[in-house]
Structure 1
Amino acid sequence: MLDTSLPTPSRSSPASLLLSQRLLFRLIPAVTACLLAIGCASPPPTRTPGGSVPSSNIPPLTSEQSNSITIHALGLVGTPYRYGGNSPEGGFDCSGLIGYVYRQSVGQVPPRTVSRMAGFGRPVPMSELRSGDLVLFGSASPTHAGIYVGDGRFVHAPSTGGEVRLDRLDGVYWSRQPTQARRPG
């Protein structure tokens, strides 16, 4: 026959109950502090489908960061152009150059495509360009981009067979292109 009686719970001694209560009262504040610390932690920045951090999460560049971007960009002049390239070893296309320089200089990850860079940061009048700003070329949707380095000059990776180079915004070709500027932050 099957035993259907319920088991009787074992009774703990008063000393062990007191010890359990003391342990519980010591653990509650520690667990509460841990939960509060976890709850107050900032989540990592969300990334857009292109892998970049949305512009609203990017702080404005400091003058030191702008200088770092300029120095890194100028240091890459002469690197071969390669469509889809994003490293000095493999070459750069224009958006790969910008992404590499921003990651290395200030830890920011701009959008990977030029058309998405049109929404990166905030628009800046061309008369207010600062080193580190992005310059984008093309009318409705930009098709080329570079990094402004001061004195009317920008660094960019222009085309197949070329190299990363330094050009002037007021040069014959570039002065005729529709241009906009963006500043992260």
Structure 2
Amino acid sequence: MKKILLILSLLLIFAFNSKAQDNASLPTQYQKMMEKILGNVPKVASSTATQVLDFAKSLIGVPYRYATSNPEKGFDCSGFVSYVFSNFGFKVPRSSSEFASAGVPVKLADAKVGDVLIFTGTNPRVRQIGHVGIIYSIENGDIKFIHSTSGKAHGVTVTEFNDYYKSRFMKAVSIVE
């Protein structure tokens, strides 16, 4: 990451100090290089989103427990997401279905670390909200999210946004703006 920032900084310095006629634009070869570099920089909503995510990470391993939002006993999915955001003063719903009207809707392609992903329940054919998680990372277009699952991990864990979850995906919302 430091190398990327160093290269990006050097390219920007070159762009502004160039003696070429058009200082406002980089030569094509450098534009392509910058696009490649910027495409690999993780998207993050804000420093608040980073703090929210760091707090969420500290809860990895807390067991799954239906209808619970207490780290000493466990979390269900919405209890986990609600608990995390509430600790930063955000008013968020307690049930996964209510997240459909929470925050600001965002396209998945524009979603950032810290945004909330909303899914169906375990049956993707039943298009009814039943699960939520928080985007953990986005690198090279690959999304991972943190959530409390009743599945194999049976608790707070980080999961890839794989084909199974893509089939269950309903929408993304930004709580932290």
Shorter-chain TM range is 0.5 to 0.7
Amino acid at match of 2:160: R
Q: How far does residue 62 in structure 1 lie from its aligned partner after superposition?
A: 6.5
The alignment yields a C-alpha RMSD, in angstroms, of 2.0
Q: What 5-or-longer segments of structure 2 have no aligned partner?
A: 1-43, 121-125
Taking the TM superposition and a 5 Å limit, the aligned residue runs for 1:82-161 are 82-104=65-87, 106-138=88-120, 140-151=127-138, 152-159=143-150
Q: Which has the higher strand share?
A: 2
Distance 1:149 1:160, change over 3 A: closer
Partners of 2:45 and 2:113 within 8 A in 1: no
Q: Matched residue of 2:129: which SS?
A: coil
TM (normalized to structure 2)? 0.64
Partners of 1:76 and 1:164 within 8 A in 2: yes
Q: How far does residue 125 in structure 1 lie from its aligned partner after superposition?
A: 0.4
Q: How far does residue 122 in structure 1 lie from its aligned partner after superposition?
A: 1.2
Taking the TM superposition and a 5 Å limit, the aligned residue runs for 1:39-50 are none
Matched, 1:65 2:48: yes
Q: How far does residue 149 in structure 1 lie from its aligned partner after superposition?
A: 1.5
Counterpart residue number, 1:168: 160
TM (normalized to structure 1)? 0.61
Taking the TM superposition and a 5 Å limit, the aligned residue runs for 1:22-33 are none
Detail structure 1 runs of 4+ shifted over 2 Å in the superposition.
none
User: Counterparts of 2:169 and 2:53 in 1: how far apart (Å)?
Assistant: 23
Q: How far does residue 69 in structure 1 lie from its aligned partner after superposition?
A: 1.1
Q: CA-to-partner distance for each residue in 1:80-134, whole Å, 9 max, x for gaps?
A: 0000111210100011101111112x21121111111100011100011111110
Partners of 1:82 and 1:160 within 8 A in 2: no
Q: What 5-or-longer segments of structure 1 have no aligned partner?
A: 1-60
Count matched residues. Answer: 123
